[in-house]
Amino acid sequence: MIYTLTHSLSTNERMPLSRIELLQGTLDMIVLQTLRWGPRHGYGLVQMIRTNSRGVLQVDTGSLYPALHRLEREGSIAASWEISENRQRVRVYRLTPAGRKRLAAERSKWDQLSEAIAGIFTPPVPEET
Amino acid sequence: MSNVWRSHTRRQEELDEEIRGHLEMAIRDRMARGETREEAERAARREFGDVTTVREVTGDMWSGQSVERVVQDARWAFRGLLRAPGFTAVAILTLALGIGANTAIFSVVNGVLLEPLPYPQSHELVFITSQFPTLGFDQFPVDAAEYLELKERNRSFQDLGAYVTSAANIGGDGQQPARVTSAIATSSLFTTLGVPARVGRTFTPAEMLPNAAPVAVLSSELWESVFGGQRDIVGKQIDIEGVKTTVVGIMPPGFDIHDQGVKLWQPLTLDPAQRNQYRGSHFLLLVGRLAPNVTLARAKSELQTLLAQWPAADGADANAAPGAPGFVHTPTTKNHRLRYDDLRKDIVGSIGTALVVLQAAVALVLLIACANMANLLLMRAETRHKELAVRAALGAGRGRLMRQFLAEGLVLSFGGAIAGVALAYWGLHALVAANAGSIPRAASVALDGRVLLFTLVLAIGTGLLFGLAPLLHLSTNSIGLTLRDAGSRTTAGAARNRVRRALVIAEMAFAVMLVVGAGLLLRSFWNLMRVDSGFDRSSLTTFNVVLPAAPYKDSTRRVAFFSDLMTKLGAVPGVKAVAAMSGLPPRRQVNANDTDIEGYVPEPNGPAQNVDYYQYVTPSYVSTMGIPVVEGRSFGPADGPLSTPVAMINQRMANLFYGKTSPIGRRVKPGGSKNWFTIVGVLKDVKQGGVDSRTGSELYLDYEQAPVALGFAPRNMNVVIRSPLEPASLAATVRRTVSSLDPTLPVVKFRTMDDVFSDSVSRPRFLAQLLGIFAAVALALAAIGTYGVLAYSVTVRRRELGIRMALGSSQQGLLSLVLGQGMGLAVIGLIAGLVGAFAVTRLASSLLFGVKPADPLTFIGVSAFMLAVAFVACLVPARRATHVDPLVALRTE
C-alpha cells in the first residue's frame, strides 16, 4: 500500500483512496527533514521521501510546490538554479539556519503529539483513591 | 510598480520552468524503466495533477507586496469571469442599468440643484419680488417706484437691478423676421450679476432716461444665429419692433437671467424724477447682490424695518385703505410686502422634490440590482465550492479569499460602471432633449467631474456590497465543512438560505415601493389630462402675432389688422371658425387688475375688487373656442366699436362678486378706464392658469370696442382656428396670409391646442414616464431575482424532490410545494413594500394631483399586479421541479 501525502485536499483529480491528510506543519517538517541530507530539487524530494519511507509515502506535487515556495519565502529554505547531471536547469532547495530551527521546533511538536497519541493507546492505570 | 511586476513575471517564468523540469525528469525515469514516451508523458502528468492550479497556488505563495497582490487578485477575478461569460454579461448589464440610471439622474440633480449659477459669487444673489397676502399672490412683480426706493434705502445690497422679460420681433437688412425672448433691464442688472459684455459694453444709466437713443445688447447665441457672428455688428443699427436700434454690446455665451433664455437686452426707461407715476404698476423682477458679510437672513430682518418705515417715508398714512385720502401705494408690513429668495433656489423651484424622488427611485433600482448580484455571486460561490476549497486548503487564508471575492465584485461593478456611464451619456441626451421645458437649468446638466466621481463611488460601494455576499457563505461554514460539502448535494446551509430569502424579500419590497410610486404619478397625470379645460380642444390650432409698437402705435390700427386677418383666414377653405384672444390658456400669468364693480360692497374678508385675468377677444371668440355660455349672450355683431361697451365674465367672477344674483346688466369699470362696461353674458370657467391650479376670475372685453371704450388695445394676440386641416398645411396658409398683410411680422408658437395643453403638463408627464421606466426595470430585476433563487433551490433540492416523488408525492404536490415557497417570500416582500410605500409616498404628495398618497386603488392594483408577476416568476422553476426524474436525481449523486 502506498500512501499519498497531501494536506486536506489535493489538486490531483485522480486521488487515490489511500491518502493521508496532514496538518500543514507536518508536510513542512517532512520537507525540512529530507533537505537535511543535502540540497534537492522538487522531483528529487518526491523520490527521496518515497525511498526513505521504504516506498510507502508519496508526496502530492500539488501540495509540495506550494509548501516549498512558502518555506522559501519564510526563509526556512533557500533556492538556486543549478545544472543537473542530465544537463538540465533545475531549481535546488537547501536548508537555511532558520530552517534548522524551524525543523527542531516542528520536530518537538511532532514528538509531543506522537507521545500524546501513544499515551491514548496505552492509558495509565487509573489510581484508586 | 513596474519593478514589482517584472519580478512577478520572472517568478512565474521560473515556476513554469521548475514544473516543466519536474515533468521531464519524471518522464525520463519512467522511460528508463521501459515505458514508451507517450505512456510516460501521460503517467507523469496524471501523477503531477492539474498543472495550472499547482502553478497558480504556488505562485500565490509569493503574493506578498500589496501592489502585486491587487494585480493578482484582479487577474484572478478577470480569469474567473472570463470563464463564465454568460454570468458576466448578465451581471454587467444589470449593473450598467442600475449605475447608468443613477449617473443620469445624478447629473440632473448636480446640474440643477448643486451646480452654482454661472455668475461670479452667485451665492450672494437674491431674487426680490412682492407679496399680496389678501389677494392670494405669494410672488408678484414689484413696481418701479418700489425698486427705486429699495435701491436707495437698503443697506444690505451692494447693488440692485431690475428686469422684465418679454418677446421682441427683430428684422432689418432684408432678414427674415424673427421673434426672440427679450429682457428690458436696468443698467445695474449687469453690474449686479457681475458679468461684463464680451464685445462692446452694457447699458449706461443715461440710456435709461426717456428720449435716449434706442440701444440693445445681444446674446452670443443671437449674435451667431441671426447676425452671423460678425464683430462689426457692434455700433450698427438693427430693426427691433420696427425701431432702428444701435447694438452696443454682446454678452458672453450662456448669459441669461432666471433661466428665461433671454436673447436680447434693452434698457428699461426709468426716470427717477417720475417715481410717483410708477406706483401700482407691478411688472419688474429684482435681483440684488448682498453686500460683503451680509447674510440673506440679515437682509430679511433689515427688510422688516424698511417695510415698517416705508409708508411714512413716502408721506403716506399707513392705515389708510386703498382709495382713501392719505393712501399711497407703497410696500407695508401687512398687505403689500416684499420678499427675498435665494436666486438659485427660486430658479430651481419645485423641481427639487421631483428630482429627490427620482434619485431615490434609481437608488432603489440599484439596490435591487445589488441584491440580484449578491444572489448570483452567492450561487456562483457555491458552484465553485471545490475550487475555493482547494485554494483555502493550500494556504489561501480567509483574508485572501475575501480579497479575491471583493476583487471579483469590483471588476464587475467597474465593468458595470463603464457601461453605465455610456448608457447615462446616451440616456441623458435623450432625457434633456425630450424634456427641455420641464427641467430648469437644463443647459448645466452634463456628465462632469463631480458626476463621474459620484459614479466611481457608486461603483466601489456596490462592488463592496455584493462582492462580500459570498463571504456570508464562507463565514457560515468552516473550510473543513465546505470541503466535505463539496461533492454532495445535501441541503445547503440554513444561514445561506436565510440570506437568499432575505434578498428576495428586499428586492420585492423595493420593487413594490417603486411600482406604487409610479402608479400614483400615472394616476396624477391621468387626472391632469382629464381636467375639463372649459372649452373644446379638438381640431383647434393656435399661433401668436405681436404687432410692433412703433408702426402700430394707434390702437385702431391694431384692431384693423386682426380684423383683416380674421376675415382672410375665415375665407380659407376648410377653416370653420377663427378668433383672436389676448391670453392663451392654460399658462397665463395672473395680471390682477383693479376693477370697479358697480354696487359691490367689499366684505371685511371678502374678495378685493380685483380680477385675476382680463381677456380681450374678437366677436367670434366664444363660438370658435366652444365655450358654453352659462347665462346671457356672447359678443355679437350688434356690439360695434362705437356702441355701448360690453363685457362677459366667467362663473367664478360671477360667484365672487354677484353671489346668487344675476350679473347680467350690471356694470364694471376696468382699472384706468373712464367708461363703464355692461355685463351681457356669463361663460363657463376656462383653465387659464394651469390645469392643476384654481381657476381665477376672468373678465372678457370686446377687442373691437377696446380702442374707443378703453383707449387701448393689446398688441400681442393669440389666434385660434378651428379646422380639420393638417396643421402643416394650415401653417403655410397662415404664414402666407399674415405676410400678405404685413411682411415684417413673424408667426410664432404655431401649435395645436392639444399640444399646448400637453406641454403644460410636461413636467408631471416626464416624472411619470421616468418613474414608470425605473419601476419597470425594478420589476424585471425583482422578477428575475425571485426566479433565479427559486430555480437554484430546485436544482439544489433535486435529490430531495426526487425522494419525495419516489415516496409518492404527486406532481401537483411538488408544484404547490415550490410555488408556496416562492409566493411566501413574495407576499412578505409585498407587505413590506406596501408599508414602505405608505410611509414614503406622503413625502412626495406635492407631486400628486387628484390622488391621495395612500390611494387604496393604486395600492390594491399594485398588489394584485405584483402577485401576478411573482406567480409567473415562481411558476417556471416550480414546473421544472415536477419534471424531476427520481431515478436520475438519485443517481447523479
* B43 contacts chain A (CB < 8 A): no
Phi, psi dihedral angles at B503 (to 5 degrees): -65, -45
CA of B61, closest CA in chain A: separation in Å? 5
- A-chain CB neighbours of B20 within 8 Å are none
CA of B15, closest CA in chain A: separation in Å? 9
Mutation choice for B interface testing from A41, A43, A59, A82 by most B CBs within 10 A: A43
Alpha carbon distance B719, B716 (integer Å) = 10
**Exposure of B401 in the CB half-sphere (CA atoms within 13 A):** 23
- Residue, of B8 and A121, whose pLDDT is higher: A121
Query: Quick one: cell of B491?
Result: 441541503
Nearest CB to B21; choose among A9, A63, A88: A88
- A-chain CB neighbours of B15 within 8 Å are 65, 69
Alpha carbon distance B734, B571 (integer Å) = 12
User: How many residue pairs from chains A and B have C-beta atoms closer than 8 A?
Assistant: 88
* B390 contacts chain A (CB < 8 A): yes
Q: Longest Cα pair distance anywhere in chain B, in angstroms?
A: 131
- Judged by CB atoms closer than 8 Å, whether chains meet at B19 and A43 is answered as no
CA of B30, closest CA in chain A: separation in Å? 13
Alpha carbon distance B875, B790 (integer Å) = 9
Residue type, B108: V
Nearest CB to B389; choose among A9, A62, A90: A9
Could you tell me which chain A residue has the CA closest to the CA of B49? A12
Phi, psi dihedral angles at B164 (to 5 degrees): -145, 135
Alpha carbon distance B463, B116 (integer Å) = 31
Chain B segment 449-488 residues within 8 A of A by beta carbon are: 480, 483
Phi, psi dihedral angles at A36 (to 5 degrees): -60, -25
Query: Quick one: cell of A12?
Result: 490531483
Alpha carbon distance B413, B417 (integer Å) = 6
Within 10 A of B709 (CB to CB), how many other CB atoms are there? Answer: 24
- A-chain CB neighbours of B14 within 8 Å are 81, 91
- Judged by CB atoms closer than 8 Å, whether chains meet at B49 and A66 is answered as no
Task: Give the pLDDT confidence score for residue A112 in this predicted structure.
Answer: 87
What residues form DSSP beta bridges with B542? B720, B751
Nearest CB to B61; choose among A11, A13, A66: A66
Query: Quick one: which of B691, B653, B678 has its CA closest to B525?
Result: B691
Task: Give the pLDDT confidence score for residue B372 in this predicted structure.
Answer: 87
- B-chain CB neighbours of A68 within 8 Å are 58
Alpha carbon distance B855, B258 (integer Å) = 36
- B-chain CB neighbours of A11 within 8 Å are 49-50, 53-54, 57, 390, 394
Alpha carbon distance B370, B378 (integer Å) = 12
Nearest CB to A65; choose among B17, B54, B390: B54
Q: Give the tens place of pLDDT for each residue, B153-182.
A: 999 999 999 999 988 888 755 566 788 999
Query: Cβ(B65)–Cβ(B4) under 8 Å?
Result: yes
- Strand-strand pairing, B215-218 and B243-250: parallel
Alpha carbon distance B318, B289 (integer Å) = 29
Task: Give the pLDDT confidence score for residue B380 in this predicted structure.
Answer: 77
- Judged by CB atoms closer than 8 Å, whether chains meet at B50 and A60 is answered as no
DSSP state letter for B206: G
Nearest CB to A88; choose among B24, B61, B483: B24
Please tell me the least confidently modeled range out of A35-49, A94-108, B63-77, B200-214: B63-77
Query: Cβ(B268)–Cβ(B238) under 8 Å?
Result: no
Within 10 A of B490 (CB to CB), how many other CB atoms are there? Answer: 12
- A-chain CB neighbours of B21 within 8 Å are 41, 43, 88-91
- Judged by CB atoms closer than 8 Å, whether chains meet at A66 and B58 is answered as yes
SS3 B240: strand
Residue type, B839: A
Task: Give the pLDDT confidence score for residue B391 in this predicted structure.
Answer: 62
What residues form DSSP beta bridges with B629? B683
Residue type, B674: K
- Judged by CB atoms closer than 8 Å, whether chains meet at B57 and A41 is answered as no
Task: Give the pLDDT confidence score for residue B488 in this predicted structure.
Answer: 40
SS3 B184: strand
Alpha carbon distance B295, B629 (integer Å) = 54
Could you tell me which chain B residue has the CA closest to the CA of A42? B22
Ranges in chain B, pLDDT < 70: 1-5, 63-69, 172-176, 322-323, 383-400, 436, 472-496, 603-607, 888-893
Q: Which run of H or of E encompasses B392?
A: helix B385-393
CA of B454, closest CA in chain A: separation in Å? 41
* B14 contacts chain A (CB < 8 A): yes
Mutation choice for B interface testing from A10, A11, A77 by most B CBs within 10 A: A11
Query: Cβ(A2)–Cβ(A56) under 8 Å?
Result: yes
| Torsion on CA atoms B49, B50, B56, B62, rounded to nearest 10 | 10
**Helices marked H in B33-118 — which ranges?**
37-48, 51-60, 66-82, 85-109
Alpha carbon distance B192, B119 (integer Å) = 10
B586: cis peptide before it, omega within 30°? yes
pTM above 0.90, yes or no: no
- Judged by CB atoms closer than 8 Å, whether chains meet at A12 and B64 is answered as no
DSSP-based helix, strand, coil % in chain B, nearest 5:
55, 15, 30
Q: Which run of H or of E encompasses B819?
A: helix B811-841
Residue B826 exposed, middle or buried by CB count within 10 Å (0-12, 13-18, 19+): buried
Query: Cβ(B878)–Cβ(B791) under 8 Å?
Result: no
- Judged by CB atoms closer than 8 Å, whether chains meet at A70 and B61 is answered as yes
Query: Cβ(B100)–Cβ(B92) under 8 Å?
Result: no
Rounded percentage of chain A residues whose pLDDT exceeds 90: 20
Query: Cβ(B508)–Cβ(B782) under 8 Å?
Result: yes
Residue type, B783: A
Dihedral (CA of A60, A64, A67, A69) sign: negative
CA of A19, closest CA in chain B: separation in Å? 14
Task: Give the pLDDT confidence score for residue B201 in this predicted structure.
Answer: 95
* Mean of per-residue pLDDT scores for chain A: 79
Give all domains of chain A, ordered by start, each with its CATH number.
3-113 (1.10.10.10)
SS3 B883: coil
Within 10 A of B623 (CB to CB), how many other CB atoms are there? Answer: 16
Query: Quick one: cell of B30?
Result: 519512467
- Calculate the CA B299 to chain-centre distance: 32
Query: Quick one: which of B88, B777, B763 has its CA closest to B364?
Result: B777
SS3 A66: helix
- Judged by CB atoms closer than 8 Å, whether chains meet at A61 and B54 is answered as yes
Within 10 A of B672 (CB to CB), how many other CB atoms are there? Answer: 11
Alpha carbon distance B811, B800 (integer Å) = 14
CA of A103, closest CA in chain B: separation in Å? 19
CA of A117, closest CA in chain B: separation in Å? 22
Q: How confident is the model at residue A24 (pLDDT cuts 50, 70, 90)?
A: low
Query: Cβ(A28)–Cβ(A71) under 8 Å?
Result: yes
Alpha carbon distance B216, B267 (integer Å) = 7
Query: Cβ(B869)–Cβ(B787) under 8 Å?
Result: no
| Torsion on CA atoms B257, B262, B265, B266, rounded to nearest 10 | -100
SS3 B287: strand
| Torsion on CA atoms B721, B723, B726, B728, rounded to nearest 10 | -20
* B864 contacts chain A (CB < 8 A): no
Alpha carbon distance A107, B244 (integer Å) = 107
Q: Give the tens place of pLDDT for each residue, A5-20.
A: 655 444 444 444 455 6
- Judged by CB atoms closer than 8 Å, whether chains meet at B18 and A65 is answered as yes
CA terminus-to-terminus distance, chain B: 48
Nearest CB to B54; choose among A11, A24, A84: A11
Task: Give the pLDDT confidence score for residue B195 in this predicted structure.
Answer: 95
